Amino acid sequence: MNDSPIYVAGHNGLVGSAIVRRLRADGASNLLLRSSKELDLRRQAEVERFFAEQRPHYVFLAAAKVGGIEANRSRPAQFIRDNLQIQTNVIDAAYRNGTRKLLFLGSSCIYPRLAPQPMPEDSLLTGPLEPTNQWYAIAKIAGLKMCQAYRREFQFDAISAMPTNLYGPGDNFDLLESHVLPALIRKCHEAKLRHADALEVWGSGTPRREFLHVDDLADACVFLMRQYSDEPPINVGWGEDISIAELARLIADTVGFNGELRFDRSKPDGTPRKLLDTSRLTALGWQPKIHLKAGLASTYEWFREHQGQSRR
Ligand code: GFB
């Protein structure tokens, strides 16, 4: 794979940039990278032209419209439209232009709101989705089904990975758009600088989430690209979850904010619990390495170095 042309779609995002780091560390010499300004993946003609000209052998499809609970809730049309357009254009153009293998990235929110915990891949489509992110989830379900359909009908080697909640360098720290972990890093940091006596945490603090460092995810993506070729999606997670209240305390300790945490119950909790069953991936021989405490410390360091440039 190292000398082949590899297209990482979404290389400026949290996931895509981690996949690029991982491939470069491995000696990949022919990476194809295009920013969204250079190539708008929502435009079919642009995507077809790019694939016809470049003919990548391998494609990591990490481009997506993503965001936290509030971004998902408030912009349902953009989440369903952009994701359906991006993934449909890229999967189809890859198949038509001789791509040998494509990895599609989904999300743990594809599983039912009240799926058994930890959530096995087989719980897909067994119950209603979480309303706050159903639009994003439907698009991601369509993407993994499209990969399965192209395998069956066209023998196209398209596989899917379903990561849990991710974090790490290059994340979005915008307070309205972001996921909980970067939002709380920023809130704690700013509260510490202001010597504030309290900060606001959305919701009740009782929902449980699992957090995986994006460098672990990137490692799993490269592993799956090399080792896995089958229809079922593969969950990628850490294996343990914590409550939002516990996460907030851990982040406050990491940042050095000693004030009070105030829970704003007028904000949505979302899914009560989201822990992936990763036994399929473990059986293939892959394990994550970066513990949450260490990952939080290095992500906070990254935030402090880059906050001027981080997306707000
Ligand atoms: O990470 P998050 O935005 O998304 O929120 P989901 C997780 C939990 O943290 C929710 C709470 O219960 C939030 O109410 N929370 C507390 C906060 N304080 C904050 C804060 O300051 N900001 C944010 N954002 N949350 C997303 C989906 O769901 O998970 C996406 O909406 C995607 O589609 C992603 O699937 C992985 O974990 O609830």
CA of 178 from ligand 1 middle (Å) equals 8
Catalytic residue among 58, 95, 136, 228: 136
Helix (H, G, I), strand (E, B) or coil at 17: helix
Mutation choice for ligand 1 from 178, 179, 210, CB with most ligand atoms inside 8 A: 179
Per-residue pLDDT for 212 more than 60? yes
136 assigned to active site:
yes
Per-residue pLDDT for 309 more than 60? no
168 torsion bin: left (phi>0), alpha (psi -120 to 50), beta (else):
left
- 175's tokens: 């307070």
Packing angle between helix 134-154 and helix 76-96, nearest 10 degrees?
10
Percent share of the chain, pLDDT over 90: 97
- Looking at residue 2, its pLDDT comes to 84
Q: How confident is the model at residue 312 (pLDDT cuts 50, 70, 90)?
A: very low
> Residues 108, 162: contact at Cβ < 8 Å?
yes
Which of 158, 41, 38 is CA-nearest to residue 96?
158
Residue matched to tokens 């196209």: 156
Q: Which amino acid is at 157?
A: D
Residues with CB under 6 A from ligand 1: 68-70, 72, 107, 109, 132-133, 136, 165, 178-180, 183-184, 201-203, 207, 209, 244, 267-271
- 156-186 pLDDT tens trace: 999 999 999 999 999 999 999 999 999 999 9
DSSP 171: -
Integer Cα distance of 75 and 276 in angstroms: 26
Q: Which amino acid is at 4?
A: S
**Taking the C-alpha atoms of 250, 134, 215 and 37 in order, what is their torsion angle to the nearest 10 degrees?**
-120
- 254-280 pLDDT tens trace: 999 999 999 999 999 999 999 999 999
Does the pTM exceed 0.85? yes
Integer Cα distance of 202 and 209 in angstroms: 14
CA of 202 from ligand 1 middle (Å) equals 9
Angle at 166 between CA 160 and CA 170, to 5 degrees: 110
